[in-house]
Amino acid sequence: MMNDFFSLYLKSRAASGITLVNEIKFVQVVQFWFDYLDYINDFILHKSKDIDLLNNALIRKSILYALDVLEEKENLSILNENELKQMIIGLFSYGKTGYMPAGVSNRISDKIKFKLLFNKISSVKIKTDPDFKKSFFDACSIHFDLKTVKILEQIVPDIFFSTGLASCKSLPYVLKGSPLSFLDFHYNYLKLLLQSRNVEIIGVQHGGVYGEWIDNPYEKFEKKISDSYYGWGFLDHNIIQNRFKKNPKQIAEREGVFWFGRDDCYVSKNVNFGNQFGEHNQDVNHIEFFYNFFKNVDFKFLPHPRINPTIYKKIIVDSRYVYTNDSIQYVANAKLVVFDCLSHTLMYYCLFNRIPFIIVLNKWPIDQLSCSAMEFYTELLNNGLLLFKEDVAISEKLQLLTEKISTNKSVFYTKDLGEYIDKKFFLHKTINLI
């Protein structure tokens, strides 16, 4: 670890004598927060104008963003706080179970309950120990420069120095959703770990990457803090993915080729924090090669929300760029979806709806993938749905791909591959988040 803030925190915490009922879980959240802070120290700690990124980058979507998209898409006025409370709040009672965001759930009832719980815990006050807080920053002043300490004082949340809740409101103590929620939304969900009763966490996968890479600090944290944890097909315990809806009808004739861009990942040179996927994500030596192929089949490019435009400069200059807040609407009827890296979240949407897709890579990070992921990607490779620039037979495989794209029939999924996909991803139980 480059800057061991957490050890200083633990020493100050021990001296304070604070011991919460959910002490282990609470401290695990704090540790992950400091590990994350250390990871991004290279490009954020000394850029105070970007401090807010620390709180926002840990969660895929905020619940307000999810509701905004829903309101715009379906013309629902569910963001009107007064209307929401008057018409809905009386219909729900939480009892023992509460629901934290798990990606962007595909049901409006989920979104409403997430919002209602957020409103409820937002009003809950906490008690903090000022001596504990002072002790921690005094210790930091001994080990780090003044500028670093000043920034720490701005960004370390007060709840890390909490001794418990100031009021005894009835709060849920069986929590379902993404444990990363503890680190966002102004740390409101973290208040749930300050209760004077044991809290049970049922963690749920909420995006791509999980279960695929041997070293994934986000996955390790979520599984460690959860009493039980469910993935979407790559983990030991799985459910049917709960993020994307099933398309309402079969597509008679598919059309269009759509290339989805990748996320923009940062790889620290000083701290190993998920560097396996990050380094894979920064391998772009195949982009131009496959672009020269796909530009002959009139594709459209859909960017990731956190796109690095320099990677796709040629594609954007050639006017194949489509900017949208709802990429799914473009690919529901797609003849083929193209991913240029592993672990894309929208791969699950394609799998769930039998939308043909292909993954194009420069090389295969074999020694960094889990056994479950290797098995799956090997199946794709054997069925011509995983292509490598460095493959000696790439010309022949691209010719075969051209023939498949030119036909009006969906010829990408064989019967055996379809059965394999069903078994791996869609024969699990579902989990009732709400």
- 408-421 in b/e form (b: 16+ CB < 10 A) is eebebbeeebeebb
| Dihedral over alpha carbons 157, 201, 222, 182 (to 10 degrees) | -20
Whose CA is closest to 370, among 219, 239, 266, 227? 219
Other CB atoms within a 10 A radius of the CB of residue 207 amount to 23
Instruction: Report d(CA 278, CA 120) in Å as an integer.
Output: 37
At 77, the pLDDT band (50, 70, 90 cuts) reads very low
- Least confidently predicted of 3-17, 164-178, 248-262, 352-366: 248-262
Token pair in block for residue 43:
């490009």
pLDDT in tens, 16-57: 999 999 999 999 999 998 888 777 665 554 444 443 433 433
Pairing of strands 162-165, 174-177: unpaired
pTM, two decimals, is 0.83
DSSP result, 162-227 = EEEESS------EEEE-GGGGGSGGGTGGGGGGSSS--EEEEE--SSSTTTBS--HHHHHHHHH-S
The helix/strand/coil state of 417 is: helix
pLDDT in tens, 336-381: 999 999 999 999 999 999 899 999 999 999 999 999 999 999 999 9
pLDDT at 328: 78
> Which of residues 399 and 1 earns the better pLDDT score?
399
Instruction: Specify the CATH number for 256-427; select among 3.40.190, 3.90.550, 1.10.10, 3.40.50.
Output: 3.40.50
The helix/strand/coil state of 30 is: helix
Instruction: Report d(CA 15, CA 278) in Å as an integer.
Output: 38
pLDDT at 94: 34
Angle at 58 between CA 53 and CA 61, to 5 degrees: 95
Residue 58 has pLDDT above 90, yes or no: no
Does an H or E element contain 316, and which? helix 313-317
**Helices and strands (H and E) in the chain: how many:** 17, 11
At 85, the pLDDT band (50, 70, 90 cuts) reads very low
Backbone angles phi, psi at 127, to 5 degrees: -105, 135
Q: How far is CA 241 from the centre of its chain?
A: 13
Backbone angles phi, psi at 400, to 5 degrees: -65, -40
Other CB atoms within a 10 A radius of the CB of residue 403 amount to 10
Per-domain residue ranges for the chain? 5-204, 256-427
